[in-house]
Amino acid sequence: MILNFELSDDLRKQICLSEREEIYYSLPIDIDGQSRYTRDSFLVVSNTKIYVIMQGALERTLAIADCSEAKSHAHVGQGLLTVVHKGTLTVIARYTHGHMGRYAYVARGINILASGRTEHVESNEYEASCPKCGRAIPGTAKCPYCNGENRFASTLKKVAKPYIPQFIGIAVLMVLASVTTLVNPAIQRYLVDNVLLEKEPSKPLAFMCLGGMFLMSAGIVFVNVAKSFYSTKLGARISMDMRNSLFEKLQKAPLSFINDRRPGELLNRVVQDTRVIREFMENSFCNLFTVAFIFVCDVIFMLYINPKLALLSFIPAPFVVMLTVAFRKSIHRRFHLQWHKNDDASSNLQDVLSGMRVVKSYGNEKHEAARFLKYSNEYCRVQTRNECFWAIFNPMLSFLMGAGVFVVTCFGGRDVLLGDMTKGQLVQFMTYTSLLYQYLNWMTQLPRQLTALISSLERIDDILAFDRIPDRENGTVKTIKGQVDFKKATFGYRSYKPVLEGIDLHVTPGEKIGIVGPSGAGKSTLINLLMGLYEADDGLLLVDGTDIRSLDRKSFHSQLGVVLQETFLFSGTILENIRFARPDATYEEVIAAARTANAHDFICRTPGGYDTYVGEKGYNLSGGERQRIAIARAVLANPSLLILDEATASLDTESEYLVQSALSKLTKGKTTFAIAHRLSTLKDCDRLIVIDGHRISEMGSHEELIAAKGLYYELLTAQLQMQKRQEG
């Protein structure tokens, strides 16, 4: 995201920078004080001052030293940047949503400058529209339309490289296909001129010509089949390669890369964008060179046979192309509308069907039926109109496509009558003309397909080119004792919106820490940092005195045990699921782990024992059973650092008891971080920390926190009261 827009020289002159002043950020302001759109207005932040330029004139200058608490507020349709200036909250800029993200970053930048530091804030977020061409960018770092051409070629080269022999093979087939297509009319001409029109047609020669034509026609079929077969195969191979490299990249990329994108988007890139490439290979690529080759040869042959006639037959071509394009555009619009209406009707149906209980219980059937009828009628109307349009204009278009042939028949016929051209040549010429128009039609579809391909390639390349992958493969391998230190750790999923700020915490090996706080306060975020899923934006996180970033990923994670609220079991057997942490564990070890986790008994009761298939389509385990498998997993890993995130939150009382007792066996002597809403489950903890307002607000033992009568005390009394009410 751009945080420093280019200022024109005129605007630059407005702000007289002093000697040691440098512009840090400059953002457009696009709403003025009268709530109207405005131009040439900017917010400029230097290291010491904030300048507000409205419509080309400097309106306000604030010294950053007088400012604090800069904040970007998201309101409906607009954002406000406010600062506390000399103790008074004041609005300094208004902007539309397109700049909201930028202002949030700059607000953070101003706060950093106000606190006396000088670092720049940078944004890794992508632009929504291309600053150069103004088009919407399909969720990628670079605009595919602006850099498309070059990158397209380079990406294509990268993709095609391992398959050069296959490409050459297909190219040969393409040339063969064009040759057979082009030779056939020549044989026809020979048949007409030199055989049929002779006074005494020679039968053997006629049969030879027929044989030749048959061979060519049959040959074309074979060549086309082979060509399609190999193109399809190659397309499937290339798209498979891309899917694999995408998947590999996604696994390596940090979680933030995945979380930054809308759900489904990455799935689409792996599944749909690779499909676009395959389809292009199948439908367009295999004909691309054939068509180009035939087209060029076709034109040359026509010019060679009869230049005048050739030029005449080209005359309708531009009109036909224009009309086809216009027709297709109109068809596209019409059918898009139809699709829209269909969508309306079906989503209304979906709505009513899934809410049937509500509809029936309120007796609203008639009303809903009327609504559906309306959508349905609307769809019917559009559909009828479109089909009529299609029925009327499609034949007209076909007629136009044949226009070239009419011209040729008319003027060519005259030439034949005048003796300037043989009859056979006319036949050949007419075939070439129809070929020309046929391929012309095909070629007009190409730009659209190419754009879809470029867009897909860009989206794929965007992931493949992502290079900010933390390299922890070569980190330190060491046995962890379990000492954890947070030092002024700050983190936010969006870097402008901190979830945790300045966390300081020292945990000795073997200590049990309970984490408490309201929802959304950052408890799980703290744990995510500890698990190494995210890296702190600021400050340090040390494990046994070593920066977590310099630890070897694999070795660190193998010493980490995790039990989350919802345990995810992979499709596979119970055995495989327990062994997930240590695939080489023996049966004895697995059974011992399951016993410790209070899981052995219920596993024995399942029909397949440890071989019972669980997961998405497998045997249904209860929540408590899943948790105990997760605990068995953790026991097997024998970690020195344990993380329990609401491990017993969604369980009934009996399962909770079983899980709780399994957990207490597991956590013995290990550094443990446990999050819980139900505070009673944290009574064994050595120390409790309360997270509130992005910070650790209270820390101490259960008794100490009760004595302090802070948030913990409030939460505890609230829960006790609720319990009493439930019991009473």
Partner 1 sequence: MEQKTLTYFESSGGFLGARAGEEEYTRVRAVRLFPFSDPDKYISIRVGSETGEELTVIGDMADLDPEQRKFIERDLELNYFIPVINKVISIKDEYGHAYFHVMTDKGEVKFTINMSGTNVTKLSETRLLITDINENRFEIRDVRALTPPEQRKLDLFL
Q: Which residue of 20, 36, 357, 468 would you call a contact of partner 1, by CB under 8 A?
A: 36
- Which range of residues in 95-103, 151-159, 199-207, 687-695 is near partner 1 by CB under 8 A? 95-103
- Decide if residue 100 touches partner 1 (CB under 8 A): yes
Q: Which is nearer to partner 1, 76 or 370 (CB)?
A: 76
**CB of residue 135 vs partner 1: minimum separation in angstroms?**
7
- Decide if residue 446 touches partner 1 (CB under 8 A): no
Q: Which is nearer to partner 1, 382 or 563 (CB)?
A: 382
The tokens for 455 are: 């867009």
Helix (H) or strand (E) holding 124: none
Q: Is residue 1 classed as helix, strand or coil in its secondary structure?
A: coil
Chain positions 130 to 149 lying near partner 1, rule: CB under 8 A, are: 134-136, 138
- Which range of residues in 17-25, 74-82, 362-370, 661-669 is near partner 1 by CB under 8 A? 74-82
Task: Convert residues 324-363 into a mask of x (bound to partner 1 by CB under 8 A) and - (unbound).
Answer: ---------x--xx--x-----------------------
**CB of residue 520 vs partner 1: minimum separation in angstroms?**
14
Rounded distance between C-alpha atoms, residue 451 and residue 143, angstroms: 12
**CB of residue 78 vs partner 1: minimum separation in angstroms?**
4
Interacting residues of 250 by C-beta distance below 8 A, sequence separation 6+: 257, 258, 266, 270, 463
- Which range of residues in 33-41, 112-120, 473-481, 656-664 is near partner 1 by CB under 8 A? 33-41
Q: Which residue of 97, 360, 414, 709 would you call a contact of partner 1, by CB under 8 A?
A: 97
**CB of residue 343 vs partner 1: minimum separation in angstroms?**
9
Rounded distance between C-alpha atoms, residue 696 and residue 365, angstroms: 54
Q: Which residue of 8, 61, 124, 129 would you call a contact of partner 1, by CB under 8 A?
A: 129
- Decide if residue 38 touches partner 1 (CB under 8 A): yes
Q: What is the dihedral of CA 181, 187, 192, 193, to 10 degrees?
A: 130
Task: Convert residues 215-254 into a mask of x (bound to partner 1 by CB under 8 A) and - (unbound).
Answer: ----------------------------------------
The DSSP-derived string for 149-211 is HHHHHHHHHHHHGGGHHHHHHHHHHHHHHHHHHHHHHHHHHHIIIIIITSSS--HHHHHHHHH
Q: Which is nearer to partner 1, 75 or 709 (CB)?
A: 75
The tokens for 102 are: 């930028």
- CA distances to 66, 67, 84, 268 from 87, rounded to whole Å, are 8, 8, 6, 50
**CB of residue 85 vs partner 1: minimum separation in angstroms?**
8
**CB of residue 38 vs partner 1: minimum separation in angstroms?**
8
Annotate 248-266 with b (16+ C-beta within 10 A) or e (fewer): ebeeebbebbeebbeeeeb
Chain positions 451 to 470 lying near partner 1, rule: CB under 8 A, are: 451-452, 455
Chain positions 685 to 704 lying near partner 1, rule: CB under 8 A, are: none
**CB of residue 464 vs partner 1: minimum separation in angstroms?**
22
- Decide if residue 37 touches partner 1 (CB under 8 A): yes
Chain positions 509 to 538 lying near partner 1, rule: CB under 8 A, are: none
The site that binds partner 1 (CB under 8 A) totals a number of residues, namely 34
The tokens for 595 are: 């016993």
Q: Tokens 């990406």 appear where?
A: 155
- Which range of residues in 28-36, 404-412, 478-486, 704-712 is near partner 1 by CB under 8 A? 28-36
Rounded distance between C-alpha atoms, residue 228 and residue 143, angstroms: 33
Rounded distance between C-alpha atoms, residue 659 and residue 665, angstroms: 10
Q: Which is nearer to partner 1, 94 or 579 (CB)?
A: 94
Q: Which is nearer to partner 1, 98 or 318 (CB)?
A: 98
Q: What backbone torsions phi and psi does residue 647 show, to the nearest 5 degrees?
A: -65, -25
- Residue count (the chain): 728
| Angle between helices 403-418 and 316-354 in degrees, nearest 10 | 160
| Angle between helices 403-418 and 365-401 in degrees, nearest 10 | 20
Q: What backbone torsions phi and psi does residue 677 show, to the nearest 5 degrees?
A: -85, -40
Q: Do the beta carbons of residue 411 and residue 177 sit within 8 Å? A: no
**CB of residue 352 vs partner 1: minimum separation in angstroms?**
17
Q: Which residue of 16, 57, 63, 128 would you call a contact of partner 1, by CB under 8 A?
A: 128
Any alpha helices (H) in 465-616, and if so which ranges?
523-530, 553-558, 574-578, 587-596, 600-605
Q: Which is nearer to partner 1, 47 or 449 (CB)?
A: 449
Q: Which residue of 6, 9, 18, 76 would you call a contact of partner 1, by CB under 8 A?
A: 76
Rounded distance between C-alpha atoms, residue 488 and residue 518, angstroms: 21
- Decide if residue 376 touches partner 1 (CB under 8 A): no
Closest Cα to residue 458, out of 146, 241, 234? 146
- Decide if residue 77 touches partner 1 (CB under 8 A): yes
Strand partners, 95: 79
Q: Which residue of 89, 311, 469, 540 would you call a contact of partner 1, by CB under 8 A?
A: 89
Q: Tokens 């992508």 appear where?
A: 126
- CA distances to 67, 218, 219, 225 from 173, rounded to whole Å, are 72, 14, 11, 10
**CB of residue 393 vs partner 1: minimum separation in angstroms?**
18
Contacting positions for partner 1 (CB under 8 A)? 31, 35-38, 73, 75-78, 80, 82, 88-91, 94, 96-98, 100, 128-129, 134-136, 138, 333, 336-337, 340, 451-452, 455
